Structure 1
Amino acid sequence: MPRTVLVTGGTSGIGRAIAARFAADRSEVLITGRNPDTVEAAAEELGVRGAVCDATDTAQVAELAARLDTVDVLVNAAGGLSQPAGEGAALDEVLALWHANLAQNLLSAVLATASVQNKLTGGSSVVSIGSIGAERGGGSYGAAKAALGAWNASLSAELAPKGVTCNMISSGYIAGTNFFQGRLSDERHRALVAETHNKRPGTVDDIAQTAHFLASPGARHITGQAIHVNGGAFTTR
């Protein structure tokens, strides 16, 4: 029987690649995004279902969850980088920046997971997309991703006794996405690649394959973990 897979932020970049990987297994994949046009186009191109949903909006998230009977795999891929307010910014601007990054990169995952928590089965998996920014001066974005890791650990403790695994993929520099919104210089690109051990940028497929593994039978004893996928740019012991 095909698995039901929900991928928030599945219209582009990492989320889209993850949706494509599960769709290749003939899973019943549902992707979400905030823009009706991009949701419709991505769903048609991938051969999956699409739903317009802002993962930071409680009403929209609840409406999305009501469409699902069970969820075998939840991938929290919604997120993004809100640009810094700049030196000398007013306090209201600073607060707005922090609210935006926390909402996009932490609360979106918390709300999506809470909305379908009672629909997760004994063999379900929750995979959330984190960032190397949590390990190195990432400002409000990095702080949000660090909080995502802390939340993932507590979520695992809550859900693992029910047979649900919960893991976070902490991704390094991934080429071919709109994360930097056109602001990545050639010099910065070279510096990010130079940090890796294998001297190449990550790809969306690197993350998609890892997410697919974490939701596989071979990963049932892996839970509460932050899996670093960054070519060695950040190492753990």
Structure 2
Amino acid sequence: MTRRAVVTGGGTGIGKAVARRLAGAGDEVVVVGRRLPILEAAAKEINTEIGAERVSAAVADLTVPNQVEALAARFAGDGLDVLVNNAGGNPAHAPDDLTGLADAYLETFRLNVITAVLATEALLPHIRRPGGRIISVSSIAGLRGPGAYGAAKAALHGWSLGLAQQLAPQGVTVNVVAPGFVPDTEFWSERLTSELAADRIAQIPAGRAGTPEEIAAGIAYLASPDAGWTTGQILQINGGTLLGRG
């Protein structure tokens, strides 16, 4: 049976790599985001690469409840096997007063937590039981900070672990992938300098940055039928930058 998957933030970077990996394995994938041209370009590129029309695009701002509801309506009666919550962001501005600080934290929480919560809650009635897979993309920042982005990703962890306990009896797994330094993403497109890249790589025992494809490989395992006994976990993929914790 062909599985169906949704990848939010699926037009670029890690999301696009996940869509490519799942579609290449035979899944039907819907990439979701706010920018239709980027989503359509990603879908066309992947479909051309695999020689099949398995990736399609859907536009939704996942911070807006009625847009998320409209997205979920697409799956009524058809079912969904895999949800990858990859949408997120880190507003690149430094607040200079308490009002700005509050706004920065609220916006970062909206982009990284509300997007995942709304998408998951809306799509949850359509996720197959047993066998459904929910994977959220976090960051090494959620395990060691700093600031609003680290706090938002840490909140994503706590929410995911609670959801894992709730859904485990129904045969649905919930996990998190926390990547380290992966520069080939939009997250870094406007803020990465050669000095910053060198500093980040110097902290990695493996001696190099990661790639979207390496993160996608970990997500693909958690999304697979073989991962049915893996739930409530935070998978770090970071070249040894932050070691596992018991």
Same fold per superposition (TM over 0.5): yes
Match of 1:102 in 2: 109
Gaps of 5+ in 1: none
- Provide the secondary structure at the position in 1 that maps to 2:15: helix
Query: Size of the alignment, in residue pairs?
Result: 235
Deviation for aligned residue 1:96: 1.7
- Provide the secondary structure at the position in 2 that maps to 1:169: strand
In 2, Cα distance between the equivalents of 1:212 and 1:170?
14
- Name whichever of 167-176 and 189-198 sits farther off: 189-198
Deviation for aligned residue 1:33: 0.9
Deviation for aligned residue 1:133: 0.7
TM-score, normalization: structure 2?
0.92
Q: Is the 8 A contact 1:8 1:77 kept in 2?
A: yes
CA RMSD, 1 decimal: 1.1
Say which of 118, 129, 132 aligns to 1:124. Answer: 132
Match of 1:231 in 2: 239
Residue by residue, what CA displacement relative to the aligned partner does 1:172-216 show, whole Å, maximum 9, x if unpaired?
000211212322121211121121121110100111000100111
Say which of 88, 92, 96 aligns to 1:83. Answer: 92
Q: Which amino acid aligns with 2:87?
A: A
Deviation for aligned residue 1:162: 0.2
Deviation for aligned residue 1:152: 0.6
Match of 1:203 in 2: 211
Q: Which amino acid aligns with 1:182?
A: E
Q: Is the 8 A contact 1:34 1:54 kept in 2?
A: yes
Match of 2:46 in 1: 46
Q: Which amino acid aligns with 2:35?
A: N
Match of 1:25 in 2: 25
* Residues 1:92 and 2:132 aligned together: no
In 2, Cα distance between the equivalents of 1:117 and 1:232?
34
Match of 1:169 in 2: 177
- Name whichever of 188-197 and 154-163 sits farther off: 188-197
- Name whichever of 146-155 and 170-179 sits farther off: 170-179
Say which of 20, 43, 56 aligns to 2:63. Answer: 56
Q: Is the 8 A contact 1:81 1:180 kept in 2?
A: no
Residue by residue, what CA displacement relative to the aligned partner does 1:38-72 show, whole Å, maximum 9, x if unpaired?
12222222221100111111111100000013110
Q: Percent identity?
A: 42
* Residues 1:137 and 2:145 aligned together: yes
In 1, Cα distance between the equivalents of 2:64 and 2:220?
27
Gaps of 5+ in 2: 48-54
Match of 1:146 in 2: 154
Deviation for aligned residue 1:83: 1.7
In 1, Cα distance between the equivalents of 2:196 and 2:41?
32
Q: Is the 8 A contact 1:214 1:222 kept in 2?
A: yes
Q: Which amino acid aligns with 2:155?
A: A
- Provide the secondary structure at the position in 1 that maps to 2:81: strand
Q: Which amino acid aligns with 1:168?
A: V
TM-score, normalization: structure 1?
0.96
In 1, Cα distance between the equivalents of 2:94 and 2:164?
34
Deviation for aligned residue 1:136: 2.4
- Name whichever of 92-101 and 21-30 sits farther off: 92-101
- Provide the secondary structure at the position in 2 that maps to 1:179: helix
Residue by residue, what CA displacement relative to the aligned partner does 1:78-126 show, whole Å, maximum 9, x if unpaired?
011112424xx23332222111110111110010000011111110100
